[in-house]
Amino acid sequence: MKTMQRMGAVAVLAAALFGLAGGAVRADNWPQWMGPQRDGVWRETGLLSSFPPGGPKVRWRTPIGGGYSGPAVANGRVYVTDRILKAGAQDPENPFSRGNTPSTERILCLNEADGKVLWKHEYDCAYTISYPAGPRTTPTVNGGKVYSLGAEGRLVCLDVKTGAPAWSRELKKDYGVDSPIWGFSANLLVDGPRLICLVGGTGSAIVAFNKSTGKELWRALSATGSHGPGYSSPIIVTAGGTRQLIVWHPEAVASLEPATGKILWELPIRAQSGLALATPRHAGDRLFISSFYDGSMMLKLAADRPAADVVWRRKGQSELSTDSLHSIISTPFVEGDTVYGVCSHGQLRGLNASNGDRLWENYSATGANPNGRDRWATAFLVKNAARFFLFNEKGELIVAKLTPTGYTEISRAKVIEPTGVAQRRTVVWTHPAFANRSVYVRNDKEIVCVSLAK
């Protein structure tokens, strides 16, 4: 009896230790744009502190087509979208031009362990937009479904296990709108039973759909210019005791009631050339907005009601002679009293969040030439513990510390080749995903999974 009791105790202890170990190695997901909490923070531990000689280990590579969309990673699967040209089709030689190129858009589901394609969903899609490399938005995984918005407005909901379609919408047809010049680019947002999507048009700049059926729940705001609703992804914040849906489109930044679309407050701010692009950043009672031509603006969110006031606004003399921060491709990061972000020609900058004053700038993080005017040179910033991972347009992953006093680089490694052509140089302009102690990056030819485990 005592022996059996001892064996039982050992089994219980082993199970407990296994459970603890299992908890210790539990991996995070990256199921949407900018991570689980849509804040650009990676919260996993057990990661390397610097790269080994020769760079971090590549776990797998999988061929894919073109696109600016980042991957999503959830529950042992990786989701990514791409575009394949039809046989004999060719894009306009000038990427700014708008053609009519026969193409196929695809949503691919890969096995996270080895990168093998588990299923794919594809549909015909003629590309009429400028810079037509492929889809822009990161897939959103929620409740056993994956949601995807294509560059020409095809909105689809698929089963995560099989890829079977649950529903789809054609935004241009359903709402009588044209594709924005640079395509539908604002990332989808799931909020409870709602799938929130920027659409465009009169009264339908933003629309909430029932995420299970695709039925419209509400619509709000207007965005009727050639850039439609713009390219900035919506977020939800809590301020003034109220959950607020924050939408920045080319005419204004607005707060809406997420359940109904009721406008809570709206501040006019015209974005030149429709470049409402970087995601607004929320920190405490602050809301930070930055644009390529128009510089930066800091709002203070009221503590007692849904409202906002402009604390400061800074604008340079031109795109070359900038003030504060003129973001375009990369979304800034706000931490404490400091803003970190990439300016118009590749300058990684630190700003005083209280007034917008520049504290420092650095070109090495993006690899931009300080004298070469590398327009739109960029790097994507993701926070992990006391450091940042920066993925720049040259395909390099950097571990660095960003503080109010400056940029301190710890380690750098090339993880993928830039394949896109822009501004007379080769670039990779896609946001990475971080999950399972790995980073997932893609270009126009492949998606690569690289281990960052300690």
Q: How confident is the model at residue 26 (pLDDT cuts 50, 70, 90)?
A: low
Q: How confident is the model at residue 298 (pLDDT cuts 50, 70, 90)?
A: very high
Half-sphere exposure of 385 (CA within 13 A, CB side): 8
Q: How confident is the model at residue 11 (pLDDT cuts 50, 70, 90)?
A: very low
**Which of 293-297, 335-339, 371-375 bottoms out in mean pLDDT, i.e. has the lowest?**
371-375
The tokens describing 391, both together, are 């993925």
Question: Is the pLDDT assigned to residue 166 strictly greater than 80?
Answer: yes
* DSSP-derived secondary structure for 319-379: SSS--S---SSSPPEEETTEEEEE-TTS-EEEEETTT--EEEEESTTTT--TTTT-TT--E
Choose among 167, 193, 189, 304: nearest CA to 248. Answer: 189
Q: What is the mean pLDDT of the chain?
A: 93
Distance CA(44)–CA(53), nearest Å, equals 23
Residue 445: Cβ within 10 Å count = 14
Distance CA(305)–CA(301), nearest Å, equals 9
Distance CA(99)–CA(132), nearest Å, equals 9
**Residues whose CB falls within 8 Å of the CB of residue 345, separated by 6 or more in sequence, listed in order:** 319, 320, 368, 373, 374, 375, 376, 377
302-349 tens-digit pLDDT? 999 999 999 999 998 888 889 999 999 999 999 999 999 999 999 999
388-447 tens-digit pLDDT? 999 999 999 999 999 999 999 999 999 999 999 998 899 999 999 999 999 999 999 999
Question: Is the pLDDT assigned to residue 202 strictly greater than 90?
Answer: yes
Beta bridge partners of 77: 74, 111
The tokens describing 4, both together, are 């059996």
% of the chain beyond a pLDDT of 90: 89
Domains recognised in the chain with CATH numbers: 27-451 (2.130.10.10)
Dihedral sign for Cα atoms in the order 53, 59, 65, 70: negative
pLDDT value at residue 372:
75
Distance CA(158)–CA(23), nearest Å, equals 30
pLDDT value at residue 206:
98
Using CA atoms of 47, 53, 56, 57 in order, give the dihedral in degrees to the nearest 10. Answer: -120
Question: Is the pLDDT assigned to residue 12 strictly greater than 50?
Answer: no
71-123 tens-digit pLDDT? 999 999 999 999 999 999 999 988 889 999 999 999 999 999 999 999 999 99
Distance CA(413)–CA(386), nearest Å, equals 20
The tokens describing 99, both together, are 């053609």
Distance CA(434)–CA(431), nearest Å, equals 10
